[in-house]
Structure 1
Amino acid sequence: MIARTRPAPPHLALAEAEALLEKQPHLALNKVDAILRTAPGFPPAEFVAARALRRLGKAKQALQKLDALARANPRVPAVLWELGELAAESGDNPRAVAALQALTGLQPGVSQGWFLLGRALRATGRADQAWRADLSGVHASSRDPELLKAAVLMNDGTLEEAEAALTARLARLTDDPPALRMLGEIAWRRGDMTAALAHVERAVDAAPGFDLARDFLIRLLMQTNRLPEALTHAEALSESPVPMPGHDLILASVLVKLGHQERARGIYERLLAAQPDQPQVWQNLGHVLKTLGAQSPAVEAYREAVTRQPSMGEAWWSLANLKTVKLGPDDIAAMEAALASLDGQDEERKEDVFHLHFSLGKAYEDAKDYPSSFAHYDKGNALRRTMVRHDADSFTAEVRAAAQAFSAAFIAGVDAGGCPAPDPIFVVGLPRSGSTLVEQILASHSQIEGTMELPEMMMIASRLQSRVDEGEFADFAAMISSLTPADRTRLGAEYIERTQVHRQTGRPLFIDKMPNNWQHVGLIRLILPNAKIVDARRHPLSCCISGWKQHFARGQTFTYDLGEIGRYYRDYVGLMADFDRAAPGAVHRVIYEDMVADTEAQVRRVLGYLGLPFEQSCLEFYNNDRAVRTASSEQVRQPIFRDGLEPWRNYGPWLAPLIEALGPVLTDYR
């Protein structure tokens, strides 16, 4: 008699089938078919059979089995999950929605179910419900132990461990939105903007209703100056079914960056009409009104801000920074009281403290109390200097490297290349040098559009410098010399393309008034050979003391120490002199004091350099209602006055560090 092999017990055979599912689904199906022959309808075997059929590409048969299982076992999450996924993959989104709604009802704390439901709802055109499903997924993920652990690691600065944990999660849960957003934050903390954007964009693609991820993406896009994309996402965020004031605020901030001031104004006014007790929003409204030239409403908005929050230093400084507004004794008393209330809170409230010192410096200056004025300016600058990075030695070395790279011999030997567009007019120089006045005069010409201080040239220059910093080239000169004509043309075209978003009038020429572009005059000439460069220059003591008294919202880190600002001015004059020798006539210089003394003659000279006819409107620049975003916004809305040509004289007793730093440039600055 022949012995027969006894079949394995059903539970063992089922385990064997499970083990074969991923790599050998056909064998798994054979095993469960054998089980079902002896135990017809056995639910666990039917479930494995459906999964095997799915992996074998037999979706229709798999769906039939899963449907039957779901009807018979409506409270088994695994069945609903498999049915929802397979129905979505098969394009049967109504069936997917039904299964996933049942699943999330059973397991509301499992984020992945909500994200799957969101995708299925979106595919059926139910965008609002899909958005809410994504938000429910985000809410559920906030209690996920694995994500919580990664968040703790990240916030503790243990970025590598956090990244490893999130990467392992994504290996199991592809395109998990919260894990992707967190990976994006890790990359951002490391300064890797490319990786940060890639991760966060994936998170938003996977869950378009993930509002916090979209908010983060908008901020990343703004930091990298991808403003049209930022606007698209900000407008999407403002449509969230769970409205928040923060969504409107970030939309307004993008609009401001794009120059759409009126639309931003409307947002701020609507928010304040609904809830007036918002000092930050009053301040933001003040900024927009100032830019639009609505000075009286701007003053009212700033005063609303400080009335609601007397220690709000930036709002006080915004009032002082209008230049045409004088802060009186009552204002001084209020600011001194606010400063006293912040005593001992320097670390937590540094920004309010230094803003108040700058504001008091301006108020005492208006009152002609120059010792008190200098003391407050000095304290404000000293505190602000502790918060910024500026290495004067390194900067001087960079300037010298640029001068050596763009020597006369190099410029003479440059082959054809560079983008031939004649559109840009670069107005360069130091802040507070009269550059805004030059810009406003030129922007009053019918052929020239005024934009703003554009970062694009600095971004291109920074990208090129990084190739030196990373060791690809021995020095800056070697990197510049390596650029082919095609490279130079591509870089110039990139600048023209990236600045197009700021051009709104159709005029053939436009102004880029980023003052720091004086550092890149050689690069400008190399990649945009037909661009024009206007150097706005002012007497060094007047320019430097005006810069030192000015708190800048960002950048200009050299202005918070009299010795450092003097040295910076000296570097600037030195590089521009070197470039004048290397490329005579490439740069047109406007001396502020000469512009004030004989405006028409100077305007005719600069228009001649630009190849444009004289227009009377350039002398009536104060009638131009264009938006102006710099510290001189109110001054350029008035005719030229000779008052204040030498502001340094009021602070003469304290200027020894500045005079020493300037050295021979003090007399040879022209």
Structure 2
Amino acid sequence: MTTAPPLATADAALAHGFSLLAEAPALAAAQAEALLEALPGHPPARLLLGMARLAQQQPQAALAVLQPLAAEQPAAPQVHMALADAWAAMHYWEEAVAAGEHALALQPALPGGWLRLGNWCDHLGRRAQAEVAFLRHVQEAVADPALLAAGRALAENDLAQAEQRLRARLRQWPQDVAALRMLAELGLRLGRNEQAIALLEECLRLAPGFAEARRQYALALDRGNRQAEALAQVDALLAQAPRDPALRNQRAVLLGKLGDYAGAIALYEGLLAEHPRDPRLWTSLGHALKTEGESGRAVAAYRHAIRLDPGFGVAWWSLANLKTERLTAEDIAQMRHQRQRADLDQDAQLHLDFALGKALEDAGEHAASFAHYAAGNAARRRQLPYDAALNHRRVRHACAVYTREFFAARAGWGCPARGPIFVVGLPRAGSTLIEQILASHPQVEATMELPELIAIVRELRARAGDPERTSYHDLVAGLSAAEARALGERYLARTAVHRRLGRPLFIDKMPNNFAHLGLLRLILPQAIVIDARRHPLDCGFSNFKQHFARGQAFSYDLADIGRYYADYVALMAHFDAVLPGWVHRVVHERLVADTETEVRALLAHCGLPFDPRCLRPHETRRAVRTASAEQVRRPISSAAIGRWRHYGPWLGPLEQALGPVLAHYPDPPPGLAGSA
């Protein structure tokens, strides 16, 4: 007769057996059988044996052990969950759900239980029941060791470790909505926006009521330039939480991006009625008012933000960035005082540097002004890496790919619509003035700097696996005729939300689109392209003293600006040679000196009859989002021409990087086309 082991020894043997389940289920089964020989009918040993048989992929044998055990142990949650797992392994979903519900009624915090129950309900098509289970899993996930480890890695920005853990989890449980959301968050951090959208769509298919996933989905859609869809998601969330301030703020931001500034202003005003001491809200209101042309109210909003937080650099820079608002000696003294604060973070410091640079420039203190511009740019440059050599290689590769032969072989490709007018070039080159001139014509609608073409570029780059360092031009060369047409149609469909006036032509004033003219010509061959060009020292220094919200990483170093300008000139010269007459160039200094001649030529290139309103663009009322918003609401002027001369002693790196491009302006140096 076998002697029963002491209780402590049996407990130790059981613990060892359970520890073997994942890696050595056969040994776990042997341990259970040894215990049962010594302790016949011992419930924990039978549970171990049933779970071991299941881990050995022997669900029938597991059921033979677990069914009678569950009948004997109606109040044992682990037993009933193991039984549910055995039923599920045999695809007996009804039985699995019944056993799982019984287990979770006994112990709601059973690890992984709600996730498995949701999975089984999904197999049965019980969508509402599955969603309840998945959402309960999200609540209980804070105690899940695997998800906790992945969450710690995310919090510590160890993205490789987080991704490894989350992908392992999803291989085991593809419907783990908590893991799907976390992996989507990781994707957003890494710039994998389309991947994040796909993960969140699956997450919300499984659990439509997962509010945090829907918030993240709205963010991903916004980043993917799908603002109308993002707004629908925010509105769905607001239907459940109508007073949520973060959602209302997000809605205001989206309305602004969609051109509904009146709606955005109303939302900001409502939020400020509840949160009157939030300087960020006052600054956001100021941005919307500035865009709508209400500069007086914008100034008041910015100044109120400053009164609430005198060190709030964003508000100071926003005030200075109005261009037409001159900061006072008192303002300068206050900014200098705030700039010296030891507790001021770097973001506030650099915004104050840009604001002081502008204020001191207006005061004629150019040496001190340049010192602050240089400090602000240096700080921003450290935050925002930029590789001038990589950009140069991309331009050279574009010249190599987009040849006469390339376009001849693809004649007739793309979407034949003629609607868009692309105004391209460097920022601060006069593109907003050109946009305002064209928008003064009754057949043309101004929209804004539309990011859709760049979104297409990002998606093409992502196909190559390295979105930041891969030239996508080879992928463009590999597109089929059907794909090229589909991309053109997609551009028009995605930008349609910004067209409100029903006019035949509309303007896309994203300056950086000059880098994507090859793609543009392929997918929209009838599009009109205008190149805005300004003297390289005026344009270059104007970029240097402008703190952009996003997207202009080249602009925070004088040498980088010079190389970028030279690459731009080379690429435009290449397209002039390959597609003569396709791009119409507007030289800013000529436009200012002989406005009517230049405007007539511009309209003729667009196939538009002359309209005298185009000579008075400052009279055209519309929202303008760019840094030149206030300037284009005034008559055309030469006041900004030659301002670089005040800073000539410090612009050596810019001049050197420009090389022969500076000497030959406004034309490219001889032989430059195709030799970038």
Which range, TM-score by smaller chain?
0.7 to 0.9
1:168 is displaced (CA, Å) by 5.3
- Aligned-pair CA distance for 1:393: 2.0
Q: 480-489 or 253-262: which moved more?
A: 480-489
Match of 1:538 among 514, 534, 537: 534
SS of the residue 1:239 aligns to:
helix
The structural deviation recorded for 1:470 is 6.7
Cα deviation 1:110-157 (Å, max 9, x = unaligned): 78659979999xx9x999x99999877644433444422221233345
> Corresponding residue for 1:306?
306
Deviation at 1:582, TM superposition (A): 1.9
Which residue does the alignment assign to 1:502? 498
Q: Is the 8 A contact 1:292 1:626 kept in 2?
A: yes
Assess, with a 3 A threshold, how the Cα gap between structure 1 residues 10 and 262 changes in structure 2: closer, same or farther: same
**2:234 corresponds to:** 234
Gaps of at least 5 residues in structure 2 are 1-39, 667-676
Aligned to 1:150: 150
Q: Quote the offset at 1:255 in angstroms.
A: 2.2
Structure 2 match to 1:568: 564
Letter in 1 for 2:524: L
| Counterpart position of 2:398 | 402
Taking the TM superposition and a 5 Å limit, the aligned residue runs for 1:99-498 are 103=105, 107=108, 113=114, 138-159=138-159, 161-167=161-167, 169-170=169-170, 175-241=175-241, 243-342=243-342, 349-464=345-460, 479-498=475-494
Distance of aligned partners of 1:131 and 1:293 in 2 relative to their CA distance in 1, 3 Å threshold: farther
- CA distance in 2 between counterparts of 1:48 and 1:355 reads 58
Alpha-carbon distance, 1:420 to partner = 0.5
Q: Which residue of 1 aligns with 2:28?
A: none
Counterpart in the other structure of 1:634: 630
Q: Which moved more, 1:488-497 or 1:265-274?
A: 488-497
Q: Which amino acid aligns with 1:151?
A: G
Distance 1:412 1:280, change over 3 A: same
Q: Greater shift after overlay, 383-392 or 357-366?
A: 383-392
CA deviation string 1:580-611 (max 9, x = no partner): 12222111111112222222222221111111
Contact preservation (8 Å) 1:18, 1:48 = no
Q: Deviations over 1:249-283 (max 9, x none)?
A: 22222222222222222211111001201011111
Name the amino acid aligned to 2:232: T
TM-score (norm 2): 0.80
Q: Structure 1's 229 and 292: CA in aligned 2 closer, same or farther, altered over 3 A? A: same
- TM-score scaled by length of structure 1: 0.81
Q: Tell me if the contact between 1:131 and 1:240 (Cα under 8 Å) persists in the aligned partners.
A: no
Decide whether aligned partners of structure 1 residues 375 and 233 sit closer, same or farther in structure 2, where only a CA change above 3 A counts: same
* Distance verdict in 2 for CA 1:293–1:238, change over 3 Å: same
Could you tell me how far apart the structure 2 residues matched to 1:475 and 1:47 are?
A: 56
Question: 2-side partners of 1:463 and 1:173: how far apart?
Answer: 28
- Count of paired positions: 618
Residue matched to 2:20: none
Cα offset, 1:394, TM superposition:
2.0
Q: What CA distance in whole angstroms lies between the structure 2 residues aligned with 1:130 and 1:475?
A: 44
Residue 337 (structure 1) shift:
1.0
Distance 2:69 2:560 in 1: 84
Structure 2 counterpart of 1:641, one-letter code = S
- Quick one: distance in 2 between partners of 1:636 and 1:527? 32
Q: Do 1:13 and 1:32's aligned partners in 2 also have CA atoms closer than 8 Å?
A: no
Q: Following the alignment from structure 2 to structure 1, what is the Cα–Cα distance between the partners of residues 80 and 443? A: 73
Q: Is the 8 A contact 1:238 1:251 kept in 2?
A: no
Q: Which residue of 1 aligns with 2:27?
A: none
For 2:232 and 2:322, the matched residues in 1 are separated by 32
Distance 1:326 1:156 in 2: 44
**Residues 134/310 of structure 1: CA separation in 2 closer, same or farther (3 Å cut):** farther
Aligned equivalent of 1:97: none
Q: How does 1:638-649 map to 2 (within 5 A)?
A: 638-649=634-645
Question: Contact (CA 8 Å) 2:423, 2:509: kept in 1 or not?
Answer: yes
CA 1:119 to 1:303, structure 2 compared with 1: closer, same or farther past 3 Å?
farther
Q: Which residue of 1 aligns with 2:13?
A: none
Residues 411 and 579 (structure 1 numbering): CA distance in 2 closer, same or farther, change over 3 Å? same
Structure 1 vs Structure 2: percent identity of aligned residues? 46
SS of equivalent to 1:341: coil
Displacement of 1:247 after TM fit? 1.8
Q: Is contact 1:320-1:327 (8 Å) kept?
A: yes
Supply the distance in 2 between the matched residues of 1:468 and 1:169 (Cα, whole angstroms).
Answer: 26
Secondary structure of the 2:240 match is: coil
